[in-house]
Structure 1
Amino acid sequence: MLTLLNSLLLNFSLLIATLLFAFLPLRRIERISPNSSLQVRLVIGCIAGVIGALLIFNSISYDVAKIDLRLVALVTAYFYGGLVSGSITMLFIIGARFAVTPAGEYQGLILTTLICVALLVTATIYRRFAAQRMKDYLVLLGTGIAYSLPALYLLTNTFERFLEIALVYIIVIMIGGYVTYRFLQELRKHFLFVHTQQELALTDGLTQLGNRRKLDETLAEYAQNGTVFSVLILDLDHFKSINDTYGHEGGDVVLRQLSHLLQSYCPEQGVVGRYGGEEFVLLLPDVPLRQAERLGERIRSACADQHFVYKEHPVFHVTLSLGAASSDQASTVFETVQKADLALYEAKQTGRNRVVCYRDPLL
Structure 2
Amino acid sequence: MTFIASISSFYSDACITYATLSIGYFALSKNSPFSFEAALWKRVLFGVLAGLAALYLGQDRLIISGKLYYSFTMMPMILVMFYGGALSGAVCYLVNFAFTGGFTLDNLFIGSIILPLLLLKVWRKKSNHVFYLTIGIIALYRIAVVGWFLDLRNLWLDILLYQFAFALCLAICYHALRFKERHIHAFFSMRNKATTDSLTHINNRASVDYKMLLQHAQRQSCGLMILDLDDFKKVNDTYGHLAGDGVLASVGYILQDCVRQEDFVGRYGGEEFIVITSSYDPHHIATVAERIRSRVERSNFASTDGTTFQMTLSIGTSLYLPGMSVEKAIEMTDDALYDAKRGGKNRVVSSRLMSLAPLGEGFGR
Output the TM-score relative to the length of structure 1.
0.69
Encode CA deviations 1:310-355: one digit per residue, 9 max, x unaligned: 3459765544332101234864666543431232234345554432
What corresponds to 2:113 in structure 1? Answer: 123
Shift in alpha-carbon separation, 1:147–1:13, aligned structure 2, 3 A = farther
**Matched letter for residue 175 of structure 1:** L
Kindly state the Cα deviation for residue 164 of structure 1 after the two structures are TM-superposed: 5.0
Q: Contact 2:229/2:272 (CA < 8 Å) preserved in 1?
A: yes
What corresponds to 1:31 in structure 2? Answer: 35
SS of 2:265's equivalent?
strand
Shift in alpha-carbon separation, 1:37–1:20, aligned structure 2, 3 A = closer
Q: Distance in 2 between matches of 1:78 and 1:242?
A: 51
Q: Distance in 1 between matches of 2:302 and 2:64?
A: 81
Q: Distance in 2 between matches of 1:335 and 1:269?
A: 24
Q: Distance in 2 between matches of 1:38 and 1:148?
A: 37
Encode CA deviations 1:84-124: one digit per residue, 9 max, x unaligned: 321314567x5xxxxxxxxxxxxxxx9xx956423333236
Task: Please give the root-mean-square deviation of Cα atoms over the aligned residues, in Å.
Answer: 4.6
Tell me, yes or no, if structure 1 residue 275 matches structure 2 residue 278. no
Output the TM-score relative to the length of structure 2.
0.69
Shift in alpha-carbon separation, 1:270–1:48, aligned structure 2, 3 A = same
Q: Distance in 2 between matches of 1:5 and 1:67?
A: 14
**Matched letter for residue 14 of structure 2:** F
Shift in alpha-carbon separation, 1:115–1:223, aligned structure 2, 3 A = farther
Q: Distance in 2 between matches of 1:38 and 1:256?
A: 30
What corresponds to 1:88 in structure 2? Answer: 95
What corresponds to 1:340 in structure 2? Answer: 333
What corresponds to 2:198 in structure 1? Answer: 205
Q: Contact 1:324/1:355 (CA < 8 Å) preserved in 2?
A: yes
Q: Contact 2:230/2:312 (CA < 8 Å) preserved in 1?
A: yes
Shift in alpha-carbon separation, 1:47–1:294, aligned structure 2, 3 A = closer
**Matched letter for residue 117 of structure 1:** N
Q: Contact 1:46/1:89 (CA < 8 Å) preserved in 2?
A: no
SS of 2:349's equivalent?
strand
Tell me, yes or no, if structure 1 residue 194 matches structure 2 residue 196. no
Q: Distance in 1 between matches of 2:211 and 2:149?
A: 58
Q: Contact 1:119/1:143 (CA < 8 Å) preserved in 2?
A: no
Q: Contact 1:321/1:347 (CA < 8 Å) preserved in 2?
A: yes
Kindly state the Cα deviation for residue 224 of structure 1 after the two structures are TM-superposed: 7.0
Matches within 5 A, 1:247-326: 247-286=240-279, 288-304=281-297, 306-311=299-304, 317-326=310-319
Q: Distance in 1 between matches of 2:251 and 2:149?
A: 69
Q: Contact 1:304/1:317 (CA < 8 Å) preserved in 2?
A: yes
Q: Contact 2:20/2:50 (CA < 8 Å) preserved in 1?
A: no
Q: Contact 2:316/2:334 (CA < 8 Å) preserved in 1?
A: yes
1:46 to 48, 51, 65: 48
SS of 1:23's equivalent?
helix
**Matched letter for residue 111 of structure 2:** V
Identity of aligned residues (%): 25
What corresponds to 1:69 in structure 2? Answer: 72
Q: Contact 1:42/1:88 (CA < 8 Å) preserved in 2?
A: no
**Matched letter for residue 8 of structure 1:** F
Structure of higher CA gyration radius: 1
Q: Contact 2:47/2:90 (CA < 8 Å) preserved in 1?
A: no
What corresponds to 1:104 in structure 2? Answer: none
